[in-house]
């Protein structure tokens, strides 16, 4: 056979195999983690693992509830802060901003997206922890002595701190996807609304946002997924107190990813410990993949219709 | 028939950056008549139309000099409330631009935007204007379903109902039938002929026969310049400019040798 | 009438405030990094490795971590490129745009992009155990490559989407095979875009800690062999910040500054390249 054609066919086959690899990678990862976490799944009930808050590996107890709660607190706080900020910014960038201002803001968002998580953790430790400890918490414990503010933790290392840091980390993802979705809304519907005598804001609120709603939802879901899985930054500021269920935004929390990262050193020393930790990783994988699948499916549909 | 001038332009120039889109246009649009703006593609017809309701200013880089007067008032004056002006002008787009809502909400949108919230008033208006647009019978059983499911001809009639619901004085049409099938196109044309007794209508069209069917008054634009304008009968039977004659007869328009 | 405009003005103010908060967050972070890091930075920091007792305040620097990160970064980027480039080429040249296969691959790449880095780290760890490897430079390279591959593939894909398709047709019409077309014509056009993707991925790779935590281990010596543990900047920062000794923490601040500057420079380079790319595409 002609050597040119041979090259072509060979290249094609190699590339195809690589593509197959990508299609199967997620499942490979899931399978690998599942196999390694089998020992603990076999020895304890899955319900016990998820709902028990007793984490005492040396006694064979592997309850993940406190860690799941920690993740939920931190993620909820982060999203509460990030969603309004990012959606408002995205609307401003896509509908109201001058071209020059947009040229200035968009690179800044890209840089925010590229900052290392350890640096975010550093910033959290050095700037946000003192802020919470010295200003926010004293203020709240004086004026708002009730749930979810009352707490006995005065260190500043809390789910609130982690939530604030995480919110900033998640902003770029939500903003960039939401802004893309908003700009993709066709010009014609905006014209039609304005031609009826609506103001720009009415057009944005009742027409553009309506059309962009699924896409913005997808952006939020993808941001949520990111917040769920972030390890380093929350590890450094969330407090990581063992076996504590957070009852206040100022309480320390121990999110699931932080658990996985912290127990690295001791994993192999206690039986079933490594299986439990890898089970936690598997849970993280399953949850984030679910969020991602939903989010990307929505965005895929929009691209198809648009 | 009143012959009051409803809209007029005086020395209207429109630029996109340095490029001239409309050059020194001065015309009068007569009240409660159908005026057709005709000419080959890309010669500024839509630009002229959109200067009447100030939709032009949405695009970056556009600058306008000269005056556009509606009922004698310059609409580009900064003191003019643009949303009130646009309420006076209804616009039908070439491709029906339905809003992402139900059929009911589409028609009610204009009213809601201007502050009318009373459910009874809204329902009455929706029914009335859908009937005006001859769409009522086809949609009365699915008012709350999405408007996207309608056929393109129905969508354009929906847009007409929506536009009429805000009670404009002028109906602007940017080639409103060119995307439709012949039957829907005919329905819209017939409706426009009925509506001219109540509204001033300005239509942009590149279909000469449509202009002949509908127009009382014709404006002919070529390459951004006003070539000729006048009452339809005279325009089509006795064109004065050679370019007009060429265009009406379907020939290429030749510039005279320098 | 006034009510509408009032509402609009309220929201406009909120929107501008939100944007300002977002922008100043970056300013706040950069300010913190420089203010804390600059005073602690010394030449020793970046030219020496940790001497005995470094973590309790004695002499040394983080050269081990800087070199370790760079080596892992380069290795991982090369490995990820070796997979991403063929895959993306394949999708653009050998498959139609709307084929189910392309959509599936792109979809899974997007999902992989969202997998947390700690999960990649945990998986890398299980793979390591399975293959009988210990914490090593090689394991770190492999895991980080997994992490950055989706990012790189996405960026290259977006760069290639901007290349006009007619280029493909004219090549084929002239009788070349698809492979030849890929390597000669498209690469040249896509080169700046590919470089940008490489830079962005490199930046993400050296900044991540969770993926190397389990896999690359840590050591105070310079990276020597592929099968020995290697230090990384993010972990060095993490460890230094976690000690009770203020002098060591200060050095942690300086290390954070080094990492930030490194990533900033890469970001700026990537931006400049991508602008050049957009300008040079055949129209």
Q: What is the mean pLDDT of residues C146-163?
A: 89
Nearest to C172 by CA among C184, C158, C162: C184
- Chain B positions in Cβ-Cβ contact with residue A193 (cut-off 8 Å): 99, 109, 113
**Lowest-confidence range among A41-45, A67-71, B17-21, C174-178?**
C174-178
- Gap from A203 CA to chain B (nearest CA, Å): 9
Please report, rounded to a whole number, the percentage of residues in chain A having pLDDT higher than 70. Answer: 97
Identify which of C112, C207, C208 has the shortest CB distance to residue A26: C112
Helices marked H in C38-99:
43-47, 63-89
Please write the tens of the pLDDT for every residue from B125-135: 999 999 989 89
Whole-angstrom distance, CA of residue B190 vs CA of residue B178? 15
Residue A64 near residue A284 (C-beta atoms within 8 A) = no
Cis preceding-peptide flag for C169 (omega within 30 of 0): no
By Cβ distance, the residue of A25, A35, A261 closest to C213 is A261
Q: Which helix (DSSP H) or strand (DSSP E) does residue A265 occupy?
A: none
Q: What are the residue ranges spanned by the domains of chain A?
A: 20-305
Domains of chain B: 5-248 (3.40.50.300)
Distance, in Å, from the CA atom of C65 to the CA atom of C212, rounded to the nearest integer, reads: 12
Q: Report which secondary-structure segment, H or E, holds C16.
A: helix C2-37
Q: How confident is the model at residue A115 (pLDDT cuts 50, 70, 90)?
A: very high
Cα C87 to Cα A19, C95, C198, C248: the distances in Å are 6, 11, 15, 45
| Rounded Cα distance, C176 and C170, in Å | 10
CA closest to A35 among chain C residues? C126
List B29's β-bridge partners, or say none: B7
Distance from CA of C2 to the nearest CA of B (A): 11
- Crossing angle of helices A273-305/C117-131, nearest 10°? 130
User: Which top CATH class is A20-305?
Assistant: mainly alpha
| Whole-number Å distance between alpha carbons of A60 and A58 | 5
pLDDT score of C243 more than 50: yes
User: How far away is chain A from the Cα of B217, in angstroms, using its nearest Cα?
Assistant: 24
Q: Closest by alpha carbon to A183, among A294, A102, A104?
A: A102
Domain ranges of chain C: 2-40, 44-280
Partner chains of B (3+ C-beta pairs under 8 Å): A, C
Segment C158-169 mean pLDDT? 73
Global ipTM: 0.90
A306 has pLDDT over 70: no
Three-state secondary structure string covering A65-133 = HHHHHHHHHHHHHHHHHHHHHHHHHHHHHHHHCCHHHHHHHHHHHHHHHHCCHHHHHHHHHHHHHHHHH
Q: How far is A5 from chain C (nearest CA, A)?
A: 7
pLDDT for residue B1: 43
Please, which pLDDT band fits residue C89 given cuts at 50, 70 and 90? confident
Q: Using 50, 70 and 90 to split pLDDT, how confident is the model at A262?
A: confident
**C110 → closest Cβ in A127, A281, A292:** A292
* Chain A environment of B148 (Cβ under 8 Å): none
Which residue in B55, B110, B163 is closest to A191 by CB distance? B55
Chain B contact for C3 (CB, 8 A cutoff): yes
Q: Do the chains contact at B81 and C1, CB–CB below 8 Å?
A: yes
Exposure string for C63-100, b = 16+ CB within 10 A, e = fewer: bbbbbbbbbbbebbbebbbebbbbbbbbbbbbbeeeee
- DSSP state, A239? B
Q: 3-state class of B16 per DSSP?
A: strand
Selected for mutation to probe chain C from A5, A119, A205 (highest C CB count within 10 Å) is: A119
Contact partners, residue C223, CB within 8 Å, separation at least 6:
C64, C67, C68, C71, C137, C230, C231
Per DSSP, the residues of C190-237 read: HHHHHHHHHHHHHHHHHH--HHHHTTT---SSPP--TTS----HHHHH
Averaged pLDDT for residues A22-38: 89
Contacting residues for A170 by C-beta, under 8 A, at least 6 apart: A78, A79, A82, A86, A223, A224, A226, A227
Q: Does position C186 have pLDDT exceeding 70, yes or no?
A: no
In tens, the pLDDT along A44-103 reads: 777 777 788 778 777 777 888 889 999 999 999 999 999 999 999 999 999 998 888 998
Q: Assess whether pLDDT exceeds 90 at residue A286.
A: yes
A34 touches chain C (CB under 8 A): no
Provide, rounded to the nearest whole percent, the portion of chain C with pLDDT above 90. 40
Q: Which residue has the higher pLDDT, B41 or C216?
A: C216
Phi, psi of B219 (to 5 degrees): -120, 125
- Report the CATH superfamily, name and number, of domain C44-280: MetI-like (1.10.3720.10)
Single out the residue of A137, A101, A95, A143 nearest to residue A248, CA to CA: A137
Smallest Cα–Cα separation from C11: which of A191, A209, A173?
A209
Contacts 24+ apart (CB under 8 A), A95-100: A95/A182, A95/A200, A95/A204, A95/A208, A96/A200, A96/C12, A96/C15, A97/C19, A99/B60
- CA distance, residue B209 to nearest chain A CA (Å): 27
């Amino acid at each position: 056979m002609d050597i040119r054609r041979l090259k072509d066919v060979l290249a094609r086959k190699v590339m195809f195999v690589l593509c197959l690899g990508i299609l199967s990678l997620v499942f490979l990862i899931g399978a690998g983690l599942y196999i390694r976490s089998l020992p603990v799944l076999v020895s304890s009930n899955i319900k016990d693992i998820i709902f028990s808050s007793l984490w005492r590996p040396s006694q064979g107890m592997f309850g993940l509830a406190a860690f799941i709660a920690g993740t939920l607190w931190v993620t909820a706080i982060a999203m509460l802060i990030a969603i309004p900020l990012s959606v408002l910014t995205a609307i401003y960038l896509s509908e109201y901003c001058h071209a020059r201002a947009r040229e200035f803001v968009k690179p800044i968002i890209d840089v925010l997206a590229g900052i290392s998580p350890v640096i975010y953790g550093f910033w959290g430790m050095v700037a946000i922890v003192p802020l919470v400890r010295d200003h926010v918490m004293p203020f709240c414990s004086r004026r708002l002595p009730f749930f979810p503010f009352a707490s006995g933790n005065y260190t500043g290392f809390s789910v609130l701190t982690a939530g604030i840091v995480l919110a900033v980390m998640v902003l770029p993802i939500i903003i960039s996807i939401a802004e893309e979705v908003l700009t993709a809304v066709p010009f014609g519907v905006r014209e039609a609304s304005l031609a009826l005598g609506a103001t720009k804001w009415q057009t944005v609120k009742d027409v553009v946002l309506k059309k962009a709603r699924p896409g913005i939802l997808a952006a939020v879901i993808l941001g949520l997924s990111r917040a769920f899985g972030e390890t380093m930054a929350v590890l450094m500021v969330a407090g990581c107190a063992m076996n504590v269920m957070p009852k206040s935004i100022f309480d320390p929390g121990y999110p699931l990813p932080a658990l996985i990262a912290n127990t690295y050193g001791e994993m192999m020393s206690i039986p079933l410990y490594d299986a439990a930790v890898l089970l936690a990783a598997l849970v993280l994988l399953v949850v984030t993949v679910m969020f991602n699948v939903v989010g990307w499916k929505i965005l895929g549909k929009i691209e198809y219709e648009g | 028939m009143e012959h009051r001038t409803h809209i007029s332009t005086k020395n209207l120039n429109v630029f996109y950056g340095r490029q001239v889109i409309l050059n020194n246009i001065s015309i009068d649009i007569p009240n409660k008549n159908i005026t057709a703006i005709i000419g080959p593609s890309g010669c500024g017809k839509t630009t002229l139309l959109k200067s009447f309701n100030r939709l032009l200013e949405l695009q970056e880089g556009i600058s306008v000099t000269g005056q556009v007067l509606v009922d004698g008032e310059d609409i580009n004056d900064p003191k003019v409330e643009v949303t009130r002006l646009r309420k006076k002008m209804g616009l039908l787009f070439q491709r029906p631009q339905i809003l992402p809502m139900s059929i009911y909400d589409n028609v009610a949108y204009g009213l809601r935007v201007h502050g009318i919230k009373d459910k009874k008033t809204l329902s009455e208006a929706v029914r009335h204007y859908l009937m005006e647009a001859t769409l009522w019978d086809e949609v009365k059983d699915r008012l709350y379903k999405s408007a996207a499911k309608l056929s393109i001809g129905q969508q354009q009639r929906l847009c007409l109902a929506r536009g009429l619901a805000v009670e404009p004085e002028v109906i602007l049409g940017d080639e409103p039938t060119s995307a439709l099938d012949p039957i829907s196109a005919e329905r819209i044309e017939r409706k426009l002929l009925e509506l001219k007794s109540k509204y001033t209508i300005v239509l942009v069209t590149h279909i000469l026969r449509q202009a002949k069917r509908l127009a009382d008054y014709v404006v002919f634009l070529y390459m951004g310049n006003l070539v000729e304008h006048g009452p339809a009968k005279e325009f089509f039977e006795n064109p004065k400019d050679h370019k007009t004659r060429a265009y009406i007869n379907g020939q290429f328009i030749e510039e005279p040798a320098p | 009438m006034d009510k509408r405009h009032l509402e609009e003005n309220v929201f406009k103010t909120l929107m501008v405030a939100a944007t300002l908060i977002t922008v100043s967050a970056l300013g706040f972070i950069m300010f913190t990094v420089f203010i804390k890091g600059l005073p602690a930075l010394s030449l020793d920091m970046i030219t020496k490795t940790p001497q005995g007792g470094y973590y309790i305040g004695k002499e040394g620097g983080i050269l081990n971590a800087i070199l370790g990160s760079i080596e892992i970064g380069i290795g991982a980027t090369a490995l990820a490129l070796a997979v991403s480039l063929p895959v993306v080429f394949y999708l653009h040249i050998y498959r139609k745009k709307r084929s189910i296969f392309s959509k599936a691959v792109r979809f899974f790449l997007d999902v992989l992009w969202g997998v947390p880095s700690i999960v990649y780290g945990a998986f890398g760890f299980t793979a390591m155990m399975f293959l009988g490897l210990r914490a090593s430079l090689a394991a770190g390279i492999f895991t980080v490559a997994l992490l950055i591959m989706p990012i790189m593939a996405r960026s290259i894909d977006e760069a290639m989407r901007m290349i006009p398709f007619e280029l493909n047709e004219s090549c084929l019409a002239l009788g070349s095979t698809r492979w030849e077309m890929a390597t000669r014509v498209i690469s040249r056009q896509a080169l700046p875009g590919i470089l940008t993707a490489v830079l962005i991925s490199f930046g993400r790779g050296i900044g991540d800690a969770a993926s190397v935590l389990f896999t690359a281990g840590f050591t105070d010596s310079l990276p020597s062999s592929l099968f020995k543990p290697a230090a990384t900047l993010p972990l060095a920062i993490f460890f230094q910040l976690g000690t009770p000794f203020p002098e060591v923490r200060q050095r942690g601040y300086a290390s954070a500054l080094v990492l930030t500057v490194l990533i900033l420079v890469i970001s700026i380079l990537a931006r400049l390249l991508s602008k050049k790319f957009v300008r040079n595409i055949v129209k």
